[in-house]
Structure 1
Amino acid sequence: MNPSAPKTNPTATVESLDHEGHGVARYEGKTIFIDGGLPFETITFSSYRKKPSFENAQAITIHNDSFMRVKPKCPHFGVCGGCSMQHMEFGAQVAAKQRILEDQFTPYWQGQRRIDAARHLWSSLGLSLTRPTLSPLCGKKRTSLSWLS
């Protein structure tokens, strides 16, 4: 390898989303969490945090947009960090958040067994795991909850 050759940024395809809305890709045996990446996108990225088994990265170039990608409605998207999934179509956001919720309650099961286990857990708590209800306020003011001690 020529040390004077310009370094090129790597490219990977996003496979899924993590619980914070980062795109999850694999590159050279590592898991790469790409800010703003969506499933099915091929992205050239630049890593800003490197660990032995994973990296955090920012997207440099998105070579093909996911069918889920939309233009964020907030002009501050990507700057303030408040709405990490606003670049994703609203129905896809809800589906991703539903999967994240199910995964939090059933980390050890796979496929239909995972979903059945989540439903059993919720029913044992007197709750029901149903399809999410879409808000009529889609894209309007978002709120957050902070615990005060």
Structure 2
Amino acid sequence: MAEQHTLHFITRARESLDITGEVAARVRESAIAAGVAHVFVRHTSCGLAITENADATVRRDLETLLQRWAPDGDPAYRHDLEGDDDMAAHARSLLTGVSVSVPFAGGRLLLGTWQGIYLFEHRAQGHRREVVVTLLG
């Protein structure tokens, strides 16, 4: 059995947006008793990650690391059609990944106590983002 849902989010510049509640709502509403929620973002300049949900400084520190590993405007980049953040956003997307999978049962995501699902906007300006949630059971 499978279900699929498309979620829409409006991001702001370089943020980590907690989307756990929206994914959890689809699991709660599902007729599937147990399975896996596969969450996939349909873009190449943002990403998904499961990380700390209790202390926002963790996500700020992750952004600091991403900026170090893939800085905006690096003169070695050739791809800069959409600005200094263009190639850096694509590289950061590779670092965070574009999908996560979470088991669920009894209408609940089986995340750990301090885990949340985050959409990381890697661009310097916000965008409209689509996330596909596939529930497999």
Q: Which has the higher helix share?
A: 2
User: Structure 2-normalised TM-score?
Assistant: 0.24
User: Structure 1-normalised TM-score?
Assistant: 0.23
Q: Which has the higher strand share?
A: 2
